[in-house]
Structure 1
Amino acid sequence: MNVAPRTPRREGTQGWVIGRAAGAPVILSPSWLVAAAVLTLLFVPTVRNLAPWLGGVATYLVALTFVVLLFFSVFLHELAHGFVARSRGLEVREFAITLWGGHTAFGGAAATPGSSALIAVVGPLTNLAVAVVCWLAVLAVPAGGLVSIVLYAGAIANGFVAVFNLIPGLPLDGGRVLEAAVWRTSGDRARGTIVAGWGGRVVAIGFVAWVLLRPLLSGRQPDLFTVGWAALIGAFLWSGATQAIRGARAQRALDGLTIAAVARPAVGVPYGVTLGEAESRAVAAGVDQVLLLAPDGRPAGYVDGAAAATVPTPARPSTPVQAVAVPLPVGAVVDGALGGAALVEAVGRVGRFSEAMAVVVDGRVSGIVFARDVVAALGARP
């Protein structure tokens, strides 16, 4: 039986690739079908009020047209983000149309506050321009007709997408603009993200409060459906804002990471010495860790403290140090001059084949790093 090779699963949003733009795939998520069906049912009463002469099937088709226009507005919004980001040197990885509308995934972050703000604001401005065009078209066609109704829906949809996304709180585009403004003023990108993330949390709470309090202030009880979708959108906004805050704090920890914060100072000893001699050299150097050096000077192992502790004191002067050493694979070294993301990348690369690695500065062994210590310093889970 012939077995065809399995196609690797594509990373990112799962769904149907319906095209490409700005060098990236356009993905239609299956969740969009759920959103389209629900929104079509919600738009049906509106269509009946605007066009009572339509039949049952036609009413649903027009409602579906409204939904498609709404998502097309979101798609234009994301395309604007993508093309401007690409012009600013960012890699665009995908455009996705999902249950929540859509998103654009990039292979990095904007290098300057100006680029970040421009990439963010161009999406809502695109929707605003489309809303104006649709509104001018509404004024140019006969009032009350089906074309007029569809154009009116396009103006409202794009206007809503533009205004909603300009609210100053992450994960909305207005939050990115706020982030860029704080970043530009303070010189600290993480601070900008944290401020905009808290803005997003305020927006989430404010949105839910507005949706629920508005009917109460008019003497009505909010229905269960209103409570449900308000809570859902509020939870989405809160989650996005919280993730942004956590990401900024993690990035700040990453940027501040140094080899001194994670390395354990060590002394290098030749392979032929005894455990007692190695310990004497460590005491003289004022360190706790001992690295074994091969004849060519390469770090070839390190003393296992637990194993060394089992050697009786009288036997330590005669016990070969390699008897209590853990071998280090060739290449298990990290440059002591590294820091931040470069250090984490180097540790991650070596950590694929060795949990420990020697720190080398100007060709001289100065310490040892364990991958678990780097993980702990970043405040992350392995």
Structure 2
Amino acid sequence: MSSAKPVRRPSGWVVGHVAGAPVVLAPSWLVAVVVLTALSVPTARALTGLEGTAVLVVAFVFVILLFASVFLHELAHGLVARARGQQPREFVLTLWGGHTAFGGAAPTPATNALVAVVGPLVNLAIAGTFALLLAVDVAPRHSVTWAVLWSGALTNGFVGLFNLLPGLPLDGGRVLEALVWAVSKDRYTGTIAAAWVGRGVAVVTFLGALLVPRLLDVGTSMVDALWAALIAAFLWTGASGAMRGARAQRNIEGVSVGTVGRPAVGVGNADSLAHAGAVAAAAGAREVVVLAPDGRPAAYVDSAAAASVPAHAAGTTLVGQVAITLPVGATVDGRLVGEALLHDLQRATRLSPVVVALVDGRVVGLVHATDVVAAIRA
């Protein structure tokens, strides 16, 4: 998952830093450890024959080993991304495993694919290593060491193969996204295609968990059905979020003063409302900005207040009497587009929800923060 975001305080416990990014344990991680440990007890008992506290400890080791593997998976994402010029922002372990956040999107399809595929490959390499150790009998069968190796081989194999499924938000979905992006020359097309496949994977995961046991005449428990539903919901939600993010990003790339601003003209603070209206009409503008004597945008005419002025009084009413004051700095560069314009708007709208767009010092538009948000969400 990658997106350009401002630096923020991590939501969890920072336990270290790797590759210039914090390693964070989200509060939900503790829930995952407790639940997975409880669910692992029957398997640990079957593999070792232990009971009581001893089997609980083995189950806990299974879970810690799983999350260590997840961390190595995420670390691989971050290190390869960093080598390709994409700085990781944080590594987070959560209820659903983990994720790596980046300071910006992958610049090319090749980087997108390489960063995505390396995570599952690390898990498959770990699974293969554990399987090899089991094959050469480094530990007696049903010993604790043997059980830990068995668990590590199985869980890493599953995590690696599952993440290679070709649908977002899985890593295989990122690879598919990169392939479609490379062929179509359009990142948005790649993301939407991979997200739709991800929704399909979610449906197949849920139906498969319910139907395969029936076809094989194998019993299935309520817990199995619940896990299938949760995983399917996670996949569907992730795919849908990727779609929304892609659409928002496409809208961001198309943002300009022409698309989110209202055409405006500048008039002097000593001009009448009638004169301002005539200047605006001649320029085809909808808004009027009042300029200070030094040429700085000082206010903008409140359309509702201006409309309440009788026609016969417009010639004697100064624009300043129906204007809303603007703080110094509530301006943006009207030549900017996309993310560059959004960054400038973010700065300016901290001062005022309405800002003036300037090109070479000339008023060209009035931008309302609500219009920008609506354009991105459209």
TM-score after normalising by structure 1: 0.90
Residue 134 (1) aligns with residue 119 (2): no
Q: 1:47 aligns with which of 41, 44, 49?
A: 44
Contact 2:47-2:142 at 8 Å conserved across structures: no
User: 1:255: which partner in 2?
Assistant: 253
**Displacement after TM superposition at 1:162 (Å):** 0.8
**Displacement after TM superposition at 1:121 (Å):** 0.7
Contact 2:199-2:239 at 8 Å conserved across structures: yes
CA distance in 2, matches of 1:367, 1:30: 46
Superposition map of 1:54-65 within 5 A:
54-65=50-61
SS in 1 for 2:24: strand
Q: 1:287 to 1:61 in 2, by over 3 A?
A: closer
Letter in 1 for 2:48: A
More displaced stretch, 159-168 vs 318-327? 318-327
Contact 1:91-1:107 at 8 Å conserved across structures: yes
**Displacement after TM superposition at 1:13 (Å):** 3.2
More displaced stretch, 116-125 vs 78-87? 78-87
CA distance in 1, matches of 2:284, 2:291: 19
Superposition map of 1:73-84 within 5 A:
73-84=69-80
**Displacement after TM superposition at 1:215 (Å):** 1.9
Q: 1:207 aligns with which of 202, 205, 230?
A: 205
**Displacement after TM superposition at 1:355 (Å):** 2.1
More displaced stretch, 202-211 vs 107-116? 107-116
User: 2:235: which partner in 1?
Assistant: 237
5+ long unaligned stretches in structure 2: 1-7
Residue 98 (1) aligns with residue 94 (2): yes
Contact 2:329-2:351 at 8 Å conserved across structures: no
Count of aligned pairs between the two proteins: 369
Superposition map of 1:253-292 within 5 A:
253-292=251-290
Cα deviation code 1:88-140 (max 9, x no counterpart): 22222222222211222222221111111111111111111111211221122
User: 1:353: which partner in 2?
Assistant: 351
Q: 1:29 to 1:323 in 2, by over 3 A?
A: closer
Residue 343 (1) aligns with residue 331 (2): no
More displaced stretch, 228-237 vs 317-326? 317-326
Q: 1:305 to 1:218 in 2, by over 3 A?
A: same
Q: 1:27 aligns with which of 11, 24, 28?
A: 24
Q: Which runs of 4+ in 1 moved over 4 A?
A: none
Residue 153 (1) aligns with residue 151 (2): yes
Letter in 2 for 1:154: G
CA distance in 1, matches of 2:38, 2:308: 74
SS in 1 for 2:181: helix
Aligned-pair identity (%): 57
Letter in 2 for 1:88: R
Letter in 1 for 2:111: S
5+ long unaligned stretches in structure 1: 1-9
Contact 1:171-1:200 at 8 Å conserved across structures: yes
**Displacement after TM superposition at 1:302 (Å):** 2.0
Contact 2:348-2:355 at 8 Å conserved across structures: yes
CA distance in 2, matches of 1:151, 1:220: 27
Letter in 2 for 1:46: T
CA distance in 1, matches of 2:206, 2:24: 30
Contact 2:255-2:338 at 8 Å conserved across structures: yes
Letter in 2 for 1:77: H
Q: 1:328 to 1:37 in 2, by over 3 A?
A: closer
CA distance in 1, matches of 2:300, 2:15: 55
Q: 1:144 aligns with which of 141, 144, 159?
A: 141
Letter in 2 for 1:186: S
Letter in 2 for 1:301: A
**Displacement after TM superposition at 1:226 (Å):** 1.5
TM-score after normalising by structure 2: 0.91
Contact 1:69-1:157 at 8 Å conserved across structures: no
Q: 1:326 to 1:55 in 2, by over 3 A?
A: closer
**Displacement after TM superposition at 1:32 (Å):** 2.8
CA distance in 1, matches of 2:139, 2:301: 87
SS in 1 for 2:377: coil
Q: 1:326 to 1:143 in 2, by over 3 A?
A: same
CA distance in 1, matches of 2:192, 2:213: 33
Contact 1:274-1:318 at 8 Å conserved across structures: yes
Q: 2:162 aligns with which of 158, 161, 164?
A: 164
Cα deviation code 1:154-178 (max 9, x no counterpart): 2222111110110111111111111
Contact 2:40-2:62 at 8 Å conserved across structures: yes
